[in-house]
Structure 1
Amino acid sequence: MAKKIKQGVAPAMRRTRGEEAYNVFNICFFVIFAFICVYPFYYLIINSISDNSMSSAGDINWLPRGIHWENYKAVFGLEGLSTAAFISVARTVIGTVLTVGASAFLGFMFTQEKMWGRKFWYRFIVITMYFNAGLIPMFITMKNLHLTNNFWVYVLPAIVQPFNIILVKTFVESIPKSLQEAAEMDGAGTLTVFWKIVLPMMSPILATVGIFSAVGQWNSFQDTLIYMTDSKLYSLQYLLYTYINQASSLASAVKASAGTGLNVAALATAQTPTSIRMTVSVIVVLPIMFVYPFFQRFFVKGMMLGAVKG
């Protein structure tokens, strides 16, 4: 009897040639895809630490050669870099916290049927995803609100994000209503239900919203370009963006007038335009890349639960 069972089970557990071929193809495809995604970052890193002349000539493709750290020492020695880094970190932290808080509260409130004008306000927020006044009206608005050359222009316009609110609202709708009803029967008000019942259950979707907001705040530089003329309020991304654009002219200026004593000129004296671009790009990308792995499991779960109503 046992022999018959083994004979009946064994063929079912074996993989056909078609399945094995599919698995091999699947593995090869994703290995190649992962390589295509990772290689650009690897290329930036190895060129930023390799011999500058070889990097400029395009000779560094797979392995670093002539490893040194002078590029990073020179970039971190730039005047105003520490202030710009502080501005970027501050806007990222404050902006992310406020955006996550607003998204959590509004997403919850839009699920409450007793909220006054709930459908109107929800549609009013959602419609802003499709219509935009444009750059000039936005600039005039910020200027009239005295937000130009003001740190809060980085934070306030980004607090209410319709897409994030939709994600949170859909997630909250997947939470059993019986939990809120039980709390209300015990005398809990709307805010108590939000703080003590719903908010602790929102961690996956709030982590997702936090990643979206943090990446957006960290990478943004156009708001600095549009609203800021005070160099003390420049963000790190905008400052490094200007160095990337000026890399070639800086190197040429140093060759023409060596020993001028300028901090930017000192950077160009030791580095090539290519080394400047590579090093600056690594500095901009790496911080957010280190943050993402810690939130990845929440990110995947939050996206799934926030996109499909269960």
Structure 2
Amino acid sequence: MFSLKRKTTGEALFDIANNLVMLCICFITLYPIWYVLINAFNDGNDAMLGGIYWWPRMFTLKNFDAVFASPGIMTAMGITVAKTVLGVLVHVFFTAMVAYALSRKGLIGGKLYILLGTITLFFNGGLIPTFLLNRDLHLLDNFLVYIIPVMFSFFDLIIFMTFFREIPEGLEEAARIDGANDWSIFLRVVLPVSMPVIATIALFHGVYQWNDYFAGIIYINNPDLQPIQTYLFRVVAQSSSNQMMVALQGSSVTKTVTSQSIKLATMVVTTLPIVFVYPFLQRYFVKGMMIGSIKG
């Protein structure tokens, strides 16, 4: 028989206070996103009057028509999708490959490699040496500048390595008896059973690639190679929305949109895709993080 323990008055009050605090934190976190969303769907001229807090007062899609009609945004979106997909594939494969090698016992110099990699978690060359290195590698105004410099992360390697060390050695031994070499074991045995940690790292790096605007500012001068986040940065920080308004002069959308409404609509367009992807990877993300934090 199980007995239900009644909460004391102090425990009940603590639960109520705790729930209220968490609700306040959720509201403070989510309301700015909601505010941007409702104003992006509101008439630009009407939004300038203020007073819009919970729902669009004059619902319209003209702001988004203006965003997608602006020159360069679809090219920037394509660059972002391409660098996110390719960047995730290269990063996950290369980092997993190195992590698998370092997780195996008997690797010559393995402890030295881990020590050198750990140092990189705390120190780096800085922006100017990194820029000069990428210049000497002919990566300026090159799409590969989004891929090659971040194809490996020692932090992600630690998560991979912790997971690989928990894989039963019997799986590898059975594969070797069947004549498999190291590459076959890695590709056909290790990677298929590592989907939770692969999804975790893919989510980490995918969010980074999607949100990264700094590389486009520092290394890219060609507007046809700038990602959507760099495009958004120029809209918000450099008043490119005014240029967009000029480019849209004469079209029907200019009567209902403003530079501010275009900025808000652009934020929504650049944010929603990665927000929609996250729920599908969340369960793998939580499982992979638990593996990296509890085991090992």
TM-score norm. by structure 1 comes to 0.86
Cα distance in structure 2, aligned partners of 1:186 and 1:246 = 61
Task: Look up the match of 2:167.
Answer: 175
One-letter code aligned to 1:173: R
Cα deviation for residue 187 of structure 1 reads: 4.1
Of residues 293-302 and 29-38 in structure 1, the stretch that sits farther from structure 2 once superposed is 29-38
Cα deviation for residue 76 of structure 1 reads: 0.6
- Give 1:128-207 correspondences, 5 Å limit: 128-207=120-199
One-letter code aligned to 2:267: S
Distance change (3 Å), C-alpha of 1:176 and 1:16:
farther
Distance change (3 Å), C-alpha of 1:18 and 1:249:
closer
- Give 1:67-86 correspondences, 5 Å limit: 67-86=59-78
Distance change (3 Å), C-alpha of 1:301 and 1:271:
same
Cα distance in structure 2, aligned partners of 1:306 and 1:186 = 31
Pick the aligned partner of 1:233 from 225, 230, 236: 225
Cα distance in structure 2, aligned partners of 1:131 and 1:16 = 51
Cα deviation for residue 90 of structure 1 reads: 0.2
One-letter code aligned to 2:209: Q
Task: Look up the match of 1:48.
Answer: 40
Task: Look up the match of 1:217.
Answer: 209
Is residue 95 of structure 2 the alignment partner of residue 110 of structure 1?
Answer: no
SS of aligned partner of 2:48: helix
Of residues 273-282 and 117-126 in structure 1, the stretch that sits farther from structure 2 once superposed is 117-126
Task: Look up the match of 1:100.
Answer: 92
* Greater Cα radius of gyration, structure 1 or 2: 1
TM-score norm. by structure 2 comes to 0.90
Aligned length: 295
Cα distance in structure 2, aligned partners of 1:151 and 1:249 = 25
Between the aligned residues of both structures, percent identity stands at 37
Cα distance in structure 2, aligned partners of 1:268 and 1:144 = 45
Is residue 263 of structure 2 the alignment partner of residue 277 of structure 1?
Answer: yes
Cα distance in structure 2, aligned partners of 1:232 and 1:180 = 47
Task: Look up the match of 2:79.
Answer: 87
One-letter code aligned to 1:309: K
State whether residues 106 and 165 of structure 1, in contact with CA within 8 Å, keep that contact through their aligned partners in structure 2: yes
Cα deviation for residue 182 of structure 1 reads: 4.0
Task: Look up the match of 1:288.
Answer: 274
Cα deviation for residue 15 of structure 1 reads: 3.5
SS of aligned partner of 1:63: coil
State whether residues 93 and 214 of structure 1, in contact with CA within 8 Å, keep that contact through their aligned partners in structure 2: yes
Cα deviation for residue 248 of structure 1 reads: 8.3
Is residue 22 of structure 2 the alignment partner of residue 36 of structure 1?
Answer: no
